[in-house]
Structure 1
Amino acid sequence: MKILYSVLLCALISAMSFSQEKNDTAKDSTAQKQVKLDEVLITGNVKTDPILTSISYNYAEKVVQPKNVADLFNNINGFSVIKRGNYAIDPSFRASQYEQLNIQYDGGTKAMHACPNRMDPITTHIIPEEIEKIEIIKGPYTVRYGPTFGGVINMVTQKPDYQDRGFHGKASAGYESNGNSFVNMFQLQYIKDKYDIVGNVGYRDFGNYEDGNEIEIPSSFRSTDYGIKLGYNFTENQRLQAHWRQSFGRDVLHAALPMDTDYDNSSILSLDYKISDLGKTIKSLTAKAYYSYVDHLMHNRNRPTFMMTEAASDVNATTIGGKLELNWKPYEKLSVFSGFDVMHIARDGGRTRLVKIMNGNPLPMPMIFNDKVWQDSYVDDFGVFTEAKWSVNNSTIITAGLRYDMVISDIKDPETDFAAMYDLEKRTENNVSGTVSVKTMVSDNFTLEAAYGRGVRSANMIERYINHFTVGQDPYEYIGNPNLDAEANNQFEIGFKGRSNLNTFKYATSFYYASFENYIVAVVDESLNRKYMPMAEPRHPKVFRNLDKAYKTGFEAMAQANFLKGFYLKTELAYVYTKNKDLNEPLPLTAPFNTRLSLGFEKEKYWANMQYNITSKQEHIAESFGETRTNGYQTLDIRLGVKPFNHVTFGVAALNVFDEAYNNHLNFSFTNQAGFGRTPITDPGRNLTAFLQYKF
């Protein structure tokens, strides 16, 4: 760490010297026009933006403590996080999660996890300091960004500031007291009229945190990241951009998973091209291609089961995709987006077990077993779509879209027992989804939105091909089902937002109802028995099945009062209710009712806020998923930030000020941990943090 901070300090001193030596030049307002790539979905244009959206941003300016990317979702209304430790964290929105959410970077780039226990979700392959904003489309209300079941989440990385020609950059460092954790990041950019280059490198070292009862939770990890983004403007209306990044996770402890991560290496390459202003009818053509590879090794060396069986899993995931889209206007008031996209997901790898004790008896010669984790499987999705926006008048826009997906899946190296269960052969599915919506500005201060969307999602690779592995919140072995039907979400939503004439008060709310078809859940099959440790409980595995009768309904609401030139008082509420009629219980991973109250102020040079978080108890549980009732809890967070100099930002925060001992309902339970029973993992207690950023 001392070497790392010495390097960072030298970089800061050099940057400050460079900044002082160079002559300040006026920003060239007549510089060449920059082509805007379609990496941003929501631009503030009422005629082109998707319906029922929200944006959370200003992380680069207002963040005052280091975070995991998934933690950024904690402050977005309607979101919760599924936590298995301090690293493997997934966002959940309105009781939709995993592949039910269309999560992507920069308008389409994806990186799928390699671990069947999701030790390495997409949120682990980028550092939060790179995220400029998060865009959310709240349901299946667009067909342009791939198959969408529960909503679109677009994490937008920071773009070059084209007003700042020449060399610029920033360096940041952060510290957390709970876990003695350090983070830092250094970025450089060079911008000319024709081209631009941005590079960054980051390092994170998190220790085990303590909960509110001063119990140490195994959750430490280290990660190193770097990336480079190159852009070239061929003409004023034509741009090509390449983005390469790698992330290296090391020695990751997972409190609520049966193994730990030895290493997790990911590589992501994306290419974006756009040409605009092509003519009166053809407005623009955009193209995207991306590739990602994740190499993941996990083991149980630090777990109680190591004395009986040594286990290590070396797995990998490859994601390749692309998109071509044409924006054309057959006449003035109608804008149409037509195109096609493709995504290929392939996974392979296995687990090696050295069994030293069997049925309680030491073996004179340990036995080696090789288990196929992914069975060399793949899923391909080929989609075509058209989405039209009709400006009925200056205040009303109607959107309609239709999408077709051909999904091809196959398993090339099945285990013998899995092949005996199913008639395995290449399978093709045909999915049709669509949406229709209306947005109208009733007045300058009031907007009404209503939408219907049908989102269709084919089963993911865990649901299709996992074979007797523990991948859920409970201790059951799970078996995939390659014959699952695609699940469909028929969602209706109405929302409105408004503000007072002087903008002293603003509000927004939305109400939704979703009816599910062929909902995919895992159900105990008493005709089958455990494969590994056959005498252990539970004896019977779960098999993924389709259910017919399920739904969810809920709302989000926000109100904010602004006063005294910079002060604000804000409240946010989110509630979702789910029902699985086939099993007569709620759907799993349904978050409880959440309320946030915030009081703060924002000035140009300083800001502060207090946030009081109220999470209700959750008694509506999916017992078949291993859920237990969760008590409610309340926490208080305080954040302060200041810009003492033009290029310096400094912030401090006190999180969970009252050192509350609690666990969120979506937390997984301790698994294969010495000294812990199978109870939900607890969250961090009081945590004092600091963050420093210097721009030049």
Structure 2
Amino acid sequence: MILKYVSNDFLKSVIYFVLYIATCICILCITNNIYANDDYLSSGSLQHKTSSTLTCKKFPPLFKDSKNNKVVTIIAEVNTSLISVSDSIKSLQHYSFITDSVDYLKNIPGFSMIRNGGTNNNFVLRGITSSKIRILADSGEIIGACCSGMDPATAYIIPETFDILNIIKGPQTVLWGPVTSGGILQFRRYHPHFNSPQIKTCSSMIVGSNDSIYRNIDSILGNKYGYIRLIGNCNYSGNYYDGNNHPVHSAWYKWSADAILSFNFRSNTFIDINLGQGNSRVNYAVTGMDGLCFARESYGFRIETPGINDVLNSIEIQSWYHHIHHIMIDSTVSFVKNLSSTLIPKQYYCCSTQCKTNVNDVERSLWGSRGFITCQWENFQFYSGIDIQINQYRKNTQLMCDSKIHNYSLDSGIFNEFIFNMLPNKKIIGGIRIEHSVVDIHDDCYAVYYRDVTYPAGFMRYEGVIYPEFLYYLGVGVCQRLPDYWELILNRFNDNIKSKNLIFQLKPEKTIQIDMGAHLKKTKIDGWITSYIGYIKDFICYKYNNNVDSNLIQDNIVDCMKNSNANICGTEMGVSYKLNDYWLGKSNISWAWGINKDNQCILPTIPPLEGKFTCQFKKQNYNLGILWRLVSSSQYIEKFLSTFCSYNFLFKKYTQDILHTPGFGVISAYLAWRIPNYYTYTVGIDNILNKTYREHVNNFLNNYDVTQYNSKKLIYESGRTWWIKAEIIL
């Protein structure tokens, strides 16, 4: 209950003061060349801990040749040696026209996109929605603020500003906050080291279809005592056109700026300070409201002391703060002519007596901190620590001028994780976490709700090696996920709830999941496979009204949230074969399945079978690639419960046509030409055949005017799209 007395302004004041002092110290020490140890820095002891292939070099991989820029996507927790995909954020840029983080993720097996508009799209991983996946930016969690999911966490992450993407599939680690059934996405930046003063700059520009123009610059100034890294980008795109040359309401404008200050305080201690801001405006095709504001303020602080002694490997303390401000406004309002403007005239605020439109104004503040130690005893490696996160949500309502709905929550946990190398080719990895969560919902218009709960999570995994080329693993994990704020607050509309505290009758999700996989790597062939099977007790889903007129769409069709039970399973596999020194072929396939055991219906967020085939030709400074994406048709047209659309949401006479998604195949290609040392030019065409298609988990109606729903227009993906990218490295 004490969370409500935490002042947001006080937290900001403390953060600003700490950052100011730390920045002054950092700049002073860098300019005066103090507290450095040449031998230590040159030995590269300050290294990234995630994996041997993720080891930090002397400068970020952004400024290196892409062929040496291998960053892995991992199956399990970040200390594992098992690899499922070998792609970095930079290497993924070649495949298609990138607008946001989801465009990166959809190139990785297991991910599927949910189209909102031109950018700020959503995704599912193995059929699990993004709200059930923990998303970290430089190890600090970031969450959207909109109750309808119009601002997913990925909307506030600019992928070009990060160097590495770690994907932890399933409950296979306890290091990064409350464990979730879906897994963890971790966008991180390298910590580079310099033996001598250097200035590196990478600048790029992309122009393409739909009047698109992307500008990005990444500069770093450093020496052996630390570095300053400045990153900025400004992007714009107009409405895109589908394969039938029909415009889709999807124009957008986005900018961001980040600064990273690092100081090698002592021979075995470094401090990182992160500061960032960003904003955007996005037109949405899936709703009658457009995103007018996606403002982000981010601050972070990390201090790490590695290589202390033979037993205590490292100590790390980290803090972060994210403030999200999101505004949705009726798309019929035309007062903003320039997409770069996010200002609302006074008469459009909901608090104004002249308010004649719909404005949804929400904010979220997250403050978190974690500290842990790493120990090593012969064949036993141990991680132990604690973390805490305070989450504050508020919403300006239309009922009263100064009325706000507040949500305060606190998550704190104690975690221990170990790696035991039994033999040179066998190891056991396990962990346990005890989580304590407090939820305090203060609704000025309704009541006050409070919950205090403690729950465990853990996993155990066995990894083995058969010859150096073949690795395999088998693991099991259990976890719980508490209902989030929107799931709880929506439950108050349930007519069966007679007492205010019964809003918490929605039970936590409880997951037990088995993961298994293998990886084979030889001279010319590199193949991997990963599978999972799980049971989710008290799976949270929407319950919809059954009293929907077949000729009308009611605004309030959601009754409440409810618990059900679900079974899930699936597999992803891939293989690459090097024909010779120039030709490389890749392919992968992903399949997911899930069923609601209460009504024996397929979970609607389960994507259909999907495969990708890639052929690359590399010779000297030239790189040519062709990607063929194939997706099977979907037959999920029965009545079911859905987070994104329900049987009753659409016209019953059109349900079969709309919910059935035909299969499709899309071909894309790119050509990259690198001028040694400085320039790289890339030309690409996506959807070369101008195919008209739509994603299965994207079944929203395109027209947001109720009188036009009879047109049955759906949101189709972009048609033929060309793009040109120029990059210069100095």
TM-score bracket, shorter-length normalisation: 0.7 to 0.9
**In the alignment, structure 1 residue 425 sits paired with structure 2 residue 449:** yes
Task: Say whether the 8 Å CA contact 1:52–1:137 is kept in structure 2.
Answer: no
Q: Deviations over 1:435-457 (max 9, x none)?
A: 00011111111111111011221
Give the aligned partner of residue 186 of structure 1: 217
**In the alignment, structure 1 residue 79 sits paired with structure 2 residue 111:** yes
Q: Deviations over 1:586-610 (max 9, x none)?
A: 1231111001111112345221111
Q: Which has the higher strand share?
A: 1
- CA-atom RMSD in angstroms: 2.9
Give the aligned partner of residue 276 of structure 2: 245
1:665 positional shift: 0.8
d(CA) in 2 for partners of 1:37 and 1:303? 52
Give the aligned partner of residue 406 of structure 2: 376
- 1:623 is aligned, of 606, 616, 640, to 640
d(CA) in 1 for partners of 2:41 and 2:312? 26
d(CA) in 2 for partners of 1:536 and 1:58? 44
Give the partner amino acid of 2:360.
S
Q: Deviations over 1:221-243 (max 9, x none)?
A: 11111110000111232111011
**In the alignment, structure 1 residue 344 sits paired with structure 2 residue 394:** no
Quickly say closer, same or farther: Cα 1:614–1:370, change in 2 above 3 A: farther
1:86 positional shift: 1.6
**In the alignment, structure 1 residue 333 sits paired with structure 2 residue 379:** yes
**In the alignment, structure 1 residue 88 sits paired with structure 2 residue 120:** yes
**In the alignment, structure 1 residue 508 sits paired with structure 2 residue 508:** no
Give the aligned partner of residue 7 of structure 1: none
1:537 positional shift: 2.2
Give the partner amino acid of 1:488.
K
**In the alignment, structure 1 residue 493 sits paired with structure 2 residue 509:** no
Q: Which has the higher helix share?
A: 2
**In the alignment, structure 1 residue 586 sits paired with structure 2 residue 606:** no
Q: Secondary structure at the match of 2:692?
A: coil
**In the alignment, structure 1 residue 200 sits paired with structure 2 residue 215:** no
Q: Secondary structure at the match of 1:649?
A: strand
Within a 5 Å distance, the mapping from 1:61-460 to structure 2 comes to: 63-64=93-94, 65-106=97-138, 108-149=139-180, 150-157=182-189, 159-160=191-192, 162=194, 165-177=197-209, 179-250=210-281, 252-302=282-332, 310-329=357-376, 331-352=377-398, 369-370=399-400, 375-416=405-446, 419=447, 424-460=448-484
1:467 positional shift: 7.2
Structure 1 residue ranges, 4+ long, deviating more than 6 angstroms after superposition: 45-48, 371-374
Residues paired across the two proteins, number: 625
Task: Say whether the 8 Å CA contact 2:171–2:179 is kept in structure 1.
Answer: yes
Quickly say closer, same or farther: Cα 1:669–1:333, change in 2 above 3 A: same
d(CA) in 1 for partners of 2:81 and 2:599? 34
Q: TM-score, normalised by structure 1?
A: 0.84
Task: Say whether the 8 Å CA contact 2:51–2:78 is kept in structure 1.
Answer: no
Q: Deviations over 1:597-646 (max 9, x none)?
A: 11112345221111100011111356332351211111001011111232
- 1:673 is aligned, of 678, 682, 704, to 704
Q: Deviations over 1:10-58 (max 9, x none)?
A: xxxxxxxxxxxxxxxxxx9985455647684675699972376545534
More deviation, 121-130/92-101? 121-130
Task: Say whether the 8 Å CA contact 1:50–1:142 is kept in structure 2.
Answer: no
Q: Secondary structure at the match of 1:123?
A: helix
Give the aligned partner of residue 593 of structure 2: 577
d(CA) in 2 for partners of 1:567 and 1:671? 42
Give the aligned partner of residue 11 of structure 2: none
Task: Say whether the 8 Å CA contact 2:604–2:636 is kept in structure 1.
Answer: no
d(CA) in 2 for partners of 1:211 and 1:373? 42
Q: Secondary structure at the match of 1:285?
A: strand
Give the partner amino acid of 2:605.
L
d(CA) in 2 for partners of 1:413 and 1:585? 35
Give the aligned partner of residue 11 of structure 1: none
More deviation, 616-625/403-412? 616-625
d(CA) in 2 for partners of 1:190 and 1:578? 50
Q: Which runs of 5+ in 1 are unaligned?
A: 1-27, 353-368, 470-479
Quickly say closer, same or farther: Cα 1:634–1:428, change in 2 above 3 A: same
d(CA) in 2 for partners of 1:281 and 1:663? 55
d(CA) in 1 for partners of 2:459 and 2:325? 37
Give the partner amino acid of 1:153.
L
d(CA) in 2 for partners of 1:639 and 1:53? 26
d(CA) in 1 for partners of 2:443 and 2:128? 31
Give the aligned partner of residue 611 of structure 2: 595
d(CA) in 1 for partners of 2:320 and 2:678? 35
d(CA) in 2 for partners of 1:689 and 1:255? 23
Quickly say closer, same or farther: Cα 1:526–1:280, change in 2 above 3 A: same
Q: Secondary structure at the match of 2:662?
A: coil
1:506 positional shift: 1.6
1:187 positional shift: 2.1
Give the partner amino acid of 2:572.
E
Q: Which runs of 5+ in 2 are unaligned?
A: 1-37, 56-73, 335-347, 349-354, 494-501, 647-658
Quickly say closer, same or farther: Cα 1:539–1:687, change in 2 above 3 A: closer
Q: Secondary structure at the match of 1:129?
A: helix
Q: Deviations over 1:311-369 (max 9, x none)?
A: 1121111011111111113x3111110111111211111243xxxxxxxxxxxxxxxx4
Task: Say whether the 8 Å CA contact 1:221–1:249 is kept in structure 2.
Answer: yes
**In the alignment, structure 1 residue 612 sits paired with structure 2 residue 628:** yes
1:569 positional shift: 1.3
Quickly say closer, same or farther: Cα 1:55–1:511, change in 2 above 3 A: closer
Give the aligned partner of residue 561 of structure 2: 544
Quickly say closer, same or farther: Cα 1:159–1:327, change in 2 above 3 A: closer
Quickly say closer, same or farther: Cα 1:538–1:371, change in 2 above 3 A: farther
1:162 positional shift: 3.3
More deviation, 636-645/424-433? 424-433
Give the partner amino acid of 1:513.
I
Q: Secondary structure at the match of 2:140?
A: coil
Quickly say closer, same or farther: Cα 1:165–1:118, change in 2 above 3 A: farther
Identity value in percent: 20
**In the alignment, structure 1 residue 553 sits paired with structure 2 residue 569:** yes
d(CA) in 2 for partners of 1:143 and 1:436? 11
d(CA) in 2 for partners of 1:303 and 1:577? 42
1:680 positional shift: 3.7
More deviation, 28-37/163-172? 28-37
Task: Say whether the 8 Å CA contact 1:55–1:134 is kept in structure 2.
Answer: no
d(CA) in 1 for partners of 2:719 and 2:270? 48
1:385 positional shift: 0.7
Task: Say whether the 8 Å CA contact 1:170–1:188 is kept in structure 2.
Answer: yes
1:309 positional shift: 5.7
Q: Deviations over 1:120-167 (max 9, x none)?
A: 222122323223232111110111111222111111235546367322
d(CA) in 2 for partners of 1:48 and 1:410? 33
More deviation, 607-616/36-45? 36-45
Within a 5 Å distance, the mapping from 1:9-88 to structure 2 comes to: 31-33=41-43, 36=46, 40=50, 43=53, 49-50=79-80, 54-55=84-85, 57-60=87-90, 63-64=93-94, 65-88=97-120
Task: Say whether the 8 Å CA contact 2:490–2:560 is kept in structure 1.
Answer: no
- 1:519 is aligned, of 521, 539, 549, to 539
1:568 positional shift: 1.1
d(CA) in 2 for partners of 1:611 and 1:169? 30
Give the partner amino acid of 2:516.
I
Give the partner amino acid of 2:726.
L
Give the partner amino acid of 1:381.
D
Give the partner amino acid of 1:691.
K
